[in-house]
Chains A and B, each alone.
Chain A
């Protein structure tokens, strides 16, 4: 009997270390890394959304502002329409893991697959993938609980994610997730070599229809000097009716 208890204890300890679900000093059982990620995904995934927002791209020469409207449905359909004068009418459609770009001047659709998805979007620190992809962390990554940290006054869980497949945007990610709201507070994204590529910082979160949604974020491409892009969401409606036809080539070229 003793052996059985010992075996179960060792198994529990090993499993807990693997997924981060061991008890704390007060005897409370913490959430597993997978549960934390699931709660964060629940904040990130909506049936549909309609967003008005802006990018503010800052580099050594100053800043540029690009405004946009974003429509999404489910986890894999996103349409972004730029509204600032320089880029007015440019559209990005993400569907079935592929990206289609529409350029109104040329009235042409460019179909992108592969590594081009990681290219910078309109010169910002966000890539096409950053803006339109990857909400299903648990299917793309193996996750490990690292610990708990205080990030700018917010108690956070720190998770370490390793990509299961090459289709993930970043091979390795570290996420700091608020213990209170289960929303992302900070993210750091790495190359396979372990080199940090980008850093995301969430400055403001709003509670909308029971979900904690970041409305002011800063992305820094760590390979670029003195470069950052702020993403500011001015208006967001979630779980509203969004026409399925929006996510088609017909709408893209309209």
Chain B
């Protein structure tokens, strides 16, 4: 009874808080109560669920050289006239995430992750919420989750689900807290996306069939998400929603195996009458390496060919091959870690990752008519990431993404100091270099930023 009363009290309080003050939907409030229930019940059911939290807070000093913001809109601020007090702004943000995992059942797993970005307003999200079930010969996942296809951190041509070029993101210490949360003190972690950067999730159904220790097949299906089409929060209006036909449902499959010491992965995604096939390889030759390749085959002209054409080969050459060439992309990476001792008193652990992304049939020359901040279809991008660990708690890192064709780039360097268990301080500096019509440049929002922040995992 007491528990019920407390829950009711919390529900009412949260409802009032969120509905009146923060204008979030009832759905989100229910999610909060749901998670709160996990927290409260977790005291008694400790063995059945596991809860972790993460808070990242930071303050950034960001350069606003013009009256436009990062999205091209007017900030209402005066243009920078060289006076530092006019040009720079101090901004702050806190990001929280709570993950609740089930523990008890070895064959069923559930996970709910709630994340919030808090400033003078609140942005709530549920990046992950899924159930996994394991049967003797296969397993199923249903819900909102991340699936990792292909190989690569910043550039991954094999990631046909979420897109292989994450380089459109500016690497900075103001745009998202994830960019700054490098895995200091755990250098191998920096080789993965463990820091939360660039991890996209979506609603999906996933069938995983293992065959052997290193081999498996995976089938995914992406259902139509209709909640946003409803009129208000009520399901009463579901009849008015125009659902797409099954023909346009996205689905994909891949097969992963190992030949000698090389991981081989091949598969494809069917989406909007397009087939996106890919292949990825990962192995070791002096260093760890990976290669991925993908393209897009537009089946629309094949499924709906014109009534008459002179030559089928010409038809393919005119209607299908250009799309394949234009979307052909290759990504490659080398990565690893080394321990070096440049001086007897200075042992350093180095981890590094170098990646490149090539669109061989796109532009290899700089375009003068390019729009600043947008990729005008250049053929080559490069990414580098290095971190030096001076001991178990202090790491210096440098990340950079470069467009060699227009000689522009975005860089982020900083120090992560893991002072106490789960707690780290981060000091960062980011800057861009390039001309006014380049992909990255000096003359735009956040071309220079300084950051001081902290992260606590518990």
Tell me the A residues contacting B by CB distance below 8 Å.
57, 59-65, 85-86, 88-89, 95, 98, 101, 103, 105-116, 118-120, 122-125, 128, 221, 223-225, 227, 247-250, 254
Contacts and interface: CB of A to CB of B under 8 A. Distances in A.
A101 B338 CA distance: 17
A103 B192 contact: yes
Interface stretch (B4-12, B180-188, B233-241, B376-384): B180-188
B389 to A, nearest CB: 7
A65 B421 contact: yes
B213 A101 contact: no
B194 A120 contact: no
A112 B347 CA distance: 22
Contacts of B193: 103, 105-106, 108
A103 B101 contact: no
Most buried by B among A62, A65, A125, A247: A62
Contact of A223 (B338, B341, B422): B341
B7 to A, nearest CB: 25
A88 B213 contact: no
Contacts of A62: 419-420
B393 A116 contact: no
A112 B230 CA distance: 47
Contact of B288 (A112, A125, A224): A112
30 contacts: A60-B391, A62-B419, A62-B420, A85-B422, A85-B457, A85-B458, A86-B52, A86-B421, A86-B457, A89-B101, A95-B213, A103-B193, A105-B195, A106-B199, A107-B146, A108-B148, A108-B192, A113-B288, A115-B338, A116-B351, A118-B339, A119-B349, A119-B351, A123-B186, A223-B341, A225-B345, A227-B392, A248-B213, A250-B139, A250-B210
Contacts of B286: 114
Interface of B: 50, 52-53, 101, 109, 132, 134, 139, 145-148, 185-189, 191-196, 199, 208, 210, 212-214, 216, 256, 261, 263, 282-284, 286-288, 336-339, 341, 345, 347, 349, 351, 389, 391-393, 418-422, 457-458
B343 to A, nearest CB: 11
Given A107-B145, A120-B392, A223-B347, 15 more contacts: A60-B391, A60-B393, A64-B422, A85-B422, A85-B458, A86-B52, A86-B457, A101-B188, A103-B192, A106-B146, A106-B148, A109-B148, A112-B288, A119-B188, A227-B391
Contacts of B283: 113
Most buried by B among A63, A113, A225, A247: A113
B210 A248 contact: yes
A178 to B, nearest CB: 30
A254 B52 contact: no
A112 B421 CA distance: 26
